[in-house]
């Protein structure tokens, strides 16, 4: 890889796809990092590979079995809610997931000589996860510069969250502006479909709302049942 590199956390969803494309637009070579945390909706890993093939110079898929801890509908045998986005933090919250993922992105970046991290969190149209909010992102950046060799030696990390203040409609518009095929990404949480999106979980509802409000065609393939 040549030029400035950035580590981009790539889940395979629409947000991280747009985030990777924005990093590239800013002139970074993208080192995409996907965490295979043994999520039940494993099909998102295939989406991540498809996205990385078009946007990344290098792609690392790192396995880490968070089912050893449990405590979430995404890693344990707990039903994914389908009744609409409710107030509060839902059971799809994975304990400390973004803290774990950002830590791994930081380790990856420091080892690779990259000083820029990108994460596709957003805190407007979201599920209420605490580890998507701006104060968490700012605190992680500060931690990164206290807890690393590069950080304390005056070569600090920057944590970019370019989608942070975007609505899902903004993100759908960004995808169109960047010429992305959003149909390649996979946002649905439900592992029990035929590989299409369920259309009912929070992730599906928020994504569909984005395309609708942006007045753009929804390229999502929905499950037949």
Summarize as ranges the residues that interact with a second copy (CB under 8 A). 60, 62-66, 68-72, 89, 93-100, 102-104, 106-108, 110-112, 130-131, 133, 135-136, 139-140, 142-144, 146-149, 151-153
Rounded-to-integer distance, Cα 13 and Cα 140, Å: 22
Question: Shortest approach of a second copy to residue 218 CB, angstroms?
Answer: 31
Question: Shortest approach of a second copy to residue 143 CB, angstroms?
Answer: 5
Question: Shortest approach of a second copy to residue 181 CB, angstroms?
Answer: 29
For a second copy, give the closer residue by CB, 89 or 192. Answer: 89
For a second copy, give the closer residue by CB, 101 or 211. Answer: 101
For a second copy, give the closer residue by CB, 136 or 211. Answer: 136
For a second copy, give the closer residue by CB, 97 or 205. Answer: 97
For a second copy, give the closer residue by CB, 88 or 215. Answer: 88
Question: Shortest approach of a second copy to residue 36 CB, angstroms?
Answer: 11
For a second copy, give the closer residue by CB, 102 or 208. Answer: 102
- CB contact set of 120 (below 8 Å; sequence gap of 6+): 9, 11, 13, 15, 16, 17, 18, 19, 20, 161, 162, 163
Question: Shortest approach of a second copy to residue 163 CB, angstroms?
Answer: 17
Strand order in the sheet with 29-36: 58-63, 29-36, 5-9, 116-118, 158-160
Question: Shortest approach of a second copy to residue 88 CB, angstroms?
Answer: 9
- CB contact set of 81 (below 8 Å; sequence gap of 6+): 73, 90, 91, 92, 201, 202
């Amino acid at each position: 890889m040549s030029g400035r590199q950035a580590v981009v956390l790539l889940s395979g969803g629409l947000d991280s796809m747009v985030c990777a494309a924005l990093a590239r637009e800013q002139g970074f070579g993208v080192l995409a990092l996907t965490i295979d945390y043994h999520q039940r909706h494993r099909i998102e890993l295939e989406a991540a590979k498809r996205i990385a093939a078009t946007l990344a110079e290098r792609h690392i898929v790192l396995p880490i079995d968070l089912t050893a801890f449990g405590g979430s509908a995404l890693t344990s045998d707990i039903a994914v809610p389908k009744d609409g986005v409710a107030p509060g933090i839902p059971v799809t919250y994975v304990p400390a997931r973004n803290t774990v993922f950002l830590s791994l992105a930081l380790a990856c970046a420091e080892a690779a000589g990259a000083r820029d991290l990108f994460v596709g969190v957003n805190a407007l149209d979201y599920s209420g996860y605490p580890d998507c909010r701006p104060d968490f992102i700012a605190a992680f950046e500060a931690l990164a510069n206290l807890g690393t060799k590069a950080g304390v030696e005056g070569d600090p990390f920057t944590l970019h969250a370019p989608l942070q203040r975007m609505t899902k409609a903004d993100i759908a518009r960004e995808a169109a502006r960047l010429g992305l095929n959003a149909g390649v990404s996979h946002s649905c949480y439900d592992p029990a479909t035929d590989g299409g999106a369920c259309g009912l979980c929070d992730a599906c509802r928020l994504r569909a709302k984005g395309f609708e409000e942006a007045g753009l065609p929804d390229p999502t393939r929905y499950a037949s049942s």
